[in-house]
Each structure stands twice: as structure tokens, then as C-alpha cells.
Amino acid sequence: MELHGKNIIGFTESAEGSNTLSSYNPNLGIDIDPAFTEATSNEVDRAMQLAADAFPAFRRISAPKRAHFLDVAADEIDALGDAITERAHSETGLPEARLNGERGRTVNQIRMFANLIREGSWVDARIDHAVPDRAPAPKPDTRLMLQPTGPVVVFGASNFPLAFSVAGGDTASALAAGCPVVVKAHRSHMGTSELVGRAVQKAAKATGMPDGVFSLLQGRGSSVGSALVQHPTATAVGFTGSHKGGRELFNQATARPTPIPVYAEMGSLNPVFVLPGALEHDGEAIARGLHGSVTLGVGQLCTHPCLVFGIEGDFFNALRNVLGDLFTETAPATMLNAGIRDTYAKGTQTVAAVAGVDLVARSSADPDPEKTQGAAHIFSTGVATFLNSPDLSEEVFGPSSVLVNCGSKADMEAAARKLDGHLTATLHGTDEDMAEHADLIAILEQKVGRLIFNGFPTGVEVCASMHHGGPYPATTDGRSTSVGTAAIFRFTRLVCYQDFPQGSLPDELKDANPRGILRIVNGSHTRDAS
């Protein structure tokens, strides 16, 4: 399929502008064809206005029909097959197996939301019947459910060209909720974005969705991205990227005449605590697992562990030695783009320059700059240095991690208290360790979105019980998740109907319960008619 390099505005293509951008092949270190035309402010306005115009029709389309649209979009993306893998590989340097897996995850995720809305109970429908003879005043009939907010702006992420980009979790959950979506493609993978965007566009046409339910614009964050966030018709924003970028969008969105929520996932150090029993009995396996987790995807995962805490002594030294060997043997690898590679190199230099931090090991081979490579690094320091060095609380996005030697359980708790908000925290321990460290767990529960036991934070399961999010600065909205079915709540608001005639109520709130959903009726959960 030949790339057209244009913006997708609803059911049409548009390339009014004169600025063009190219994708970069990090494996080859060269720009690649075609040129993509940056959206103009007029095109931004058209896409957003079309989304606003589509909303009244889209929100009233029945959930089964919306689910069908999502399923067809998933089929169309899956049908891109090798074409999408090849393009994404050339634009990101990510291996083909990973990209095939990511395509599977992306389409499964879309189908998960289709199934969620087809089942329908997610709207949290509540019905309280009238009590006309209640004293001193009659109780009216009231019925409540979640409804979509309106057009949503989604930013593609650099590190997941499929699962967190054009048709990733934000887009899938917003469309499932009934919100039109306008995506700003990430500059690192514009061709991949176009291919996925065309698949969604095709599905929208084929399933009779209103024109404007989906658009995809190419361009820079500072121009196209800002204009989208500040457009009056936008009602919410989804973003995965740097702290600087996320906070800037948040500031723009909250300064609007009508502020809108920004769901920005911005970075996380994903601390790992290796408790004494596990360290003694399982140190080598933990070291191997940590190495795999730190270097997975060349460390370019939101959940890669940047900090590893353990009690100093022979067992932690042994773990450090195993890690040292593994990191030495790790070959430098191609990173997503030159900017990320440069920031990573700078980040490891900053860590290395902290007084009291030792480099345990790095890739023995030198990274090839022509292949946009980064070397793996493992550092070691003491808890006092960690507590007093703000540089060690900054994410280094790449295959690097820091071992922190703690003198005692109390040191570990002090380190945990010092943590900012993160996506995850991991504990390695025996059951006795866990009982012994209940206070540490309680501290971590307040710091992160997900706690992992005897595992590794990378690899985010997509399911109803997942939370991918966490307190600021991990995200700008610690209340909500970007992965799993609960992500749909981001793009919704409550609407209550008081004493409404049956014919004017949404199906979800009608007495007969035609959708057969689980509701709370007069305080009891039931699927019965009310």
C-alpha cells in the first residue's frame, strides 16, 4: 500500500500546508520517504469541527453498532499484516516479532472494548423509583448513567507505534465510550500512523459511522498538538510521552476558557524492592529477571525498572555481580530515534556524574551512532546518595538501572517515602518477607498505581483488573488508567434523568432493560427489568 503522506480528515484526505516532515530510520540513520504534510491550523479546525459535528450522531448510535465499528477497525488493522510490521520496523527500529505481538495486542485491545460496550454494564446505570407518598416531600424517579464527553484528542506515543498510538488504548476507549477522536500522529512513525489511520477510516466508512468520527493529523506537537488541545470543541486529551510534553499540554488545557482533562502518562522509575528472604534464596534468578526487564525493548518501556533497592551485604553484592556480567554482555541496540538516543546518553552521564554513584557495568561493545544505538548501563549507590541526589529520581529512558544499597529495613522505608508517584512498584520476597514489610507495602500503595509481587513491571496485561497509571508525576491524572477496560471512564460524564418518560430515556435506563445490563435498581444489583 503506497503512503499518501496526507492528513486524514474524516472520510477525506487533505494536504493544504507547505511544511513537510520525514520519518527517520534509526537502523540506517537516514530519513525515509514519503514526505508527510504538516496539518495547517485550518486543517486542525476542520478536523475538530467535523468531530464536533459527528458527536451528536455518534453518541446516539447503539452500542452494538459502535462495537461493530471497533471490530471492523481491528480486522482492518490486523489485515495490514506484514505491511505495517515492515513500515513500523523501518520507522522505530523495533524488531519484527515485537511489532507483530504489538499488533496482536492492539487489535485485542480494540476487541476488548467492543465486547465491553456490547455487554453494556460499564455505564454504571442506577435507577431509584419514585416514592410519591414520601413525607415531607415525594421522591422523584431518578436514573443515572455514564455518557460520552465529546471530541477527544489523542497523541501517538514514540515507544508503542501501535498499542499506544493511532488506534491504541486511548483511541479505542474513547470511540467505545462514544467520543469522536482526532489523533496527532507521533513524528517518529508517521507512515505507520497513516496505515493504521486509513484502516480506521475504512472501518468507519464501511460501518456507517458519521464523517468526522476519526481524523489523523501529521505535524509537530508545538504547532498541531497545541492547536488541537486548545480547540474549543476538544473535551479531553490522551497523551503518553515525556514529562515536559505532558505537563505543557496539561498547562495549556487547564488554562483554556473551558478547561478540559488531560490524561498524560509521563514517566516512571518503577522501583523494585528485593526483600531479604528473596535476595538470599533467589538472588540469581531475580538478577536475570531484572536484566531482562531493564533491557526489554532497549529499556524504552514506561514500566522499565530504573531503581532496585536491597539490603547491603553479600547477597546484594552477589546480585550486583550477576547483573554486572549480564550488562557487560548486553549488546548496544538501536533506539527509537536520535532524540531518544541522545537524551538517554545524557541521562546515563548525569547518573554517572553523581558523587557516590558507581558504574557497575555497561555494554562492553561501543554503541554504533550510525545505527542510533544505546549501551546498557547498571549503576550502584548507597541509600544516602539516593535520598540526597534529585538526579537519581529522574527517569532515564533506556536500558539503565541503579542499585541502591540500604543499610536496614528503615532505610528501605525512608527511600520508599522519598519516592514521587510512579506507575509501578515491585516487591521480591517470601511470604515472611511480605509479612515483615507490611509498612513498606503500605507506603508503596500510596506511591504507585500497580504493585507487583515476585515478577517484573514490564509487560502490562490488558484486562479488566489492570491499572496503568499512577500519582503525579507518573501521570497528570492519577485517578484513571490508560490500559484495561476501566480506561473507558476517562471519556465519560454522568447524566441523570428525573421523572423522564420511558420513550425519551436511553435504552440502558428503560424499565424493560432491553440491553440486559447489570444495574443498581433501588439499591440492589440486578439484570431484571425494573
SS (H, E, C) 312-323: CCHHHHHHHHHH
Residue carrying C-alpha cell 499484516: 81
Q: Shortest gap between Cβ of 495 and a second copy (angstroms)?
A: 6
Q: Shortest gap between Cβ of 307 and a second copy (angstroms)?
A: 18
Q: Are the C-beta atoms of residues 505 and 499 closer than 8 Å to each other?
A: no
Q: Shortest gap between Cβ of 158 and a second copy (angstroms)?
A: 23
Q: Shortest gap between Cβ of 247 and a second copy (angstroms)?
A: 9
Sign (positive/negative) of CA torsion 354, 355, 356, 358?
positive
- 229 or 335: CB nearest a second copy: 229
Q: Is 401 helix (H, G, I), strand (E, B) or coil?
A: strand
Q: How far apart are CA 456 and CA 308, in angstroms?
A: 11
- 26 or 473: CB nearest a second copy: 473
Catalytic residue among 302, 306, 312, 406: 302
- 276 or 473: CB nearest a second copy: 473
- 329 or 461: CB nearest a second copy: 461
Q: How far apart are CA 452 and CA 372, in angstroms?
A: 33
Longest distance between any two alpha carbons in the chain, whole Å:
82
Catalytic residue among 91, 248, 265, 508: 265
Amino acid at the residue 289: G
Q: Are the C-beta atoms of residues 307 and 401 closer than 8 Å to each other?
A: yes
- 131 or 365: CB nearest a second copy: 131
Q: How far apart are CA 343 and CA 1, in angstroms?
A: 34
Q: Shortest gap between Cβ of 71 and a second copy (angstroms)?
A: 18
179 is catalytic: no
Q: Shortest gap between Cβ of 335 and a second copy (angstroms)?
A: 24
Angle between helix 409-418 and 438-445 (nearest 10): 0
Residues 6+ apart with CB under 8 A from 417: 443
295, with CB counted inside 10 A (0-12, 13-18, 19+), is buried
Q: DSSP labels for 200-234?
A: HHHHHHHTTPPTTSEEEE-S-IIIIIHHHHT-TT-
Q: Are the C-beta atoms of residues 102 and 161 closer than 8 Å to each other?
A: yes
Q: Are the C-beta atoms of residues 101 and 202 closer than 8 Å to each other?
A: no
| Cis bond upstream, residue 136 (ω within 30) | yes
- 399 or 421: CB nearest a second copy: 421
496 is catalytic: no
The H or E element containing residue 300 is none
- 51 or 443: CB nearest a second copy: 443
Q: Is 264 helix (H, G, I), strand (E, B) or coil?
A: strand
What positions carry a catalytic annotation? Answer: 265, 302
